[in-house]
Amino acid sequence: MAVPTPKMHDSARQSRRQIRQLDSAAINRIAAGEVVERPASAVKELVENALDAGARRIGIDFADGGKTLIRVTDDGHGMAPDDLPLALARHATSKIDGSDLLAIHTFGFRGEALPSLGAVGRLRIVSRARGHEAAEISVSGGRAQPVRPAALAQGTVVELRDLFYATPARLKFMRSDRVEAQAIGEVVRRLAMAEPHAGFTLRDLSGGAGRMVFRAEPETGDLFDALHRRLARVMGREFAENALRIEAEREGIRLTGYAALPTYSRGSAVAQHLFVNARPVRDKLLVGALRGAYADFLHRGRHPAAALFVTCPPQLVDVNVHPAKSEVRFRDPGVVRGLIVSALRHALAEAGHRASSTVAGAALGAFRPGSARPRNCRMDRPPAGAIGRAFEAQAPGFAEAPVSGRVEPSGRVEPAAPPRDAPEAEDAQGFPLGAARAQLHENYIIAQTADGMVIVDQHAAHERLVYERLKAQMAENGVAAQALLIPEIVEMSTDDAARLLDFADELSRLGLRIEPFGGGAVAVRETPAILGAVDARALLLDVLDELAEEGDSRSVRERIEAVLSRIACHGSIRSGRRMRPEEMNALLREMEATPHSGQCNHGRPTYVELKLADIEKLFGRR
Tens digit of each residue's pLDDT (9 = 90 or more) over 578-605: 889 999 999 999 999 888 888 887 778 8
C-alpha count within 13 angstroms, C-beta hemisphere, residue 122:
6
Cα–Cα separations (whole angstroms), residue 360 to 142, 226, 303, 355, 611: 58, 28, 20, 9, 9
DSSP string, 18-67: ---PPPHHHHHHHHHHHH-SSHHHHHHHHHHHHHHTT-SEEEEEEEGGGT
563 pLDDT higher than 70: no
Q: What is the percentage of the chain residues whose pLDDT exceeds 90?
A: 31
In the structure, what pLDDT confidence band is assigned to residue 532 with cuts at 50, 70 and 90?
Answer: confident
pLDDT on residue 550: 60
pLDDT on residue 22: 67
552 pLDDT higher than 80: no
Range name among 140-149, 189-198, 550-559, 577-586 with the lowest pLDDT average? 550-559
Q: Which domains does the chain have, with CATH numbers?
A: 24-216 (3.30.565.10), 223-350 (3.30.230.10), 391-396+423-611 (3.30.1370.100)
CA distance 592 to 314: 43
Tens digit of each residue's pLDDT (9 = 90 or more) over 274-313: 999 988 988 888 998 998 888 888 876 789 999 999 999 8
Range name among 73-77, 569-573, 612-616 with the lowest pLDDT average? 569-573
Identify which of 9-18, 212-221, 321-330, 564-573 has the greatest average pLDDT: 212-221
In the structure, what pLDDT confidence band is assigned to residue 6 with cuts at 50, 70 and 90?
Answer: low
In the structure, what pLDDT confidence band is assigned to residue 127 with cuts at 50, 70 and 90?
Answer: very high
Say which residue, 297 or 365, is predicted with more confidence. Answer: 297
Tens digit of each residue's pLDDT (9 = 90 or more) over 46-61: 999 899 889 999 999 9
Say which residue, 208 or 143, is predicted with more confidence. Answer: 143
Mean pLDDT confidence for 184-189: 95
Mean pLDDT confidence for 511-526: 88
Count of positions (residues) in the chain: 622
416 pLDDT higher than 70: no
Mean pLDDT confidence for 201-224: 90
**DSSP assignment, residue 416?**
P
Note if the pTM is more than 0.75. no
Under a CB-based contact definition with an 8 Å cutoff, are residues 87 and 114 in contact? Answer: yes
pLDDT on residue 389: 39
In the structure, what pLDDT confidence band is assigned to residue 377 with cuts at 50, 70 and 90?
Answer: very low
Mean pLDDT confidence for 215-241: 92
4 pLDDT higher than 60: no
575 pLDDT higher than 90: no
pLDDT on residue 58: 96
Find how far residue 111's CA is from the centre of its chain: 31
Strands (E), 69-167: 69-74, 122-128, 135-140, 143-144, 148-149, 155-161
pLDDT on residue 186: 95
Range name among 292-301, 348-357, 365-374 with the lowest pLDDT average? 365-374
Mean pLDDT of the chain: 79
606 pLDDT higher than 80: yes
pLDDT on residue 554: 63
133 pLDDT higher than 90: yes
Under a CB-based contact definition with an 8 Å cutoff, are residues 52 and 79 in contact? Answer: no
Mean pLDDT confidence for 554-567: 70
- Give which of 125, 155, 180 is closest to 56, Cα–Cα: 155
- Give which of 492, 152, 299 is closest to 501, Cα–Cα: 492
Q: Between β-strands 481-491 and 607-611, what pairing exists: parallel, antiparallel or unpaired?
A: unpaired
Mean pLDDT confidence for 154-169: 88
Identify which of 3-17, 88-102, 399-413, 505-519 has the greatest average pLDDT: 505-519
In the structure, what pLDDT confidence band is assigned to residue 86 with cuts at 50, 70 and 90?
Answer: confident
**DSSP assignment, residue 162?**
S
CB atoms under 10 Å from CB of 111, counted, come to: 19
pLDDT on residue 132: 92
pLDDT on residue 226: 94
Mean pLDDT confidence for 472-496: 85
Mean pLDDT confidence for 216-236: 93
576 pLDDT higher than 70: yes
Tens digit of each residue's pLDDT (9 = 90 or more) over 247-283: 999 999 999 999 999 888 888 888 999 999 988 988 8
pLDDT on residue 39: 92
pLDDT on residue 218: 94
Tens digit of each residue's pLDDT (9 = 90 or more) over 390-413: 333 333 344 333 333 333 433 333
Stated as kind and residue range, the H or E segment containing 187 is helix 177-194
Mean pLDDT confidence for 540-561: 71
pLDDT on residue 414: 40
Mean pLDDT confidence for 23-28: 67
CA distance 269 to 186: 14
31 pLDDT higher than 70: no
Mean pLDDT confidence for 237-244: 91
Mean pLDDT confidence for 133-157: 91
Range name among 60-69, 228-237, 421-430, 533-542 with the lowest pLDDT average? 421-430
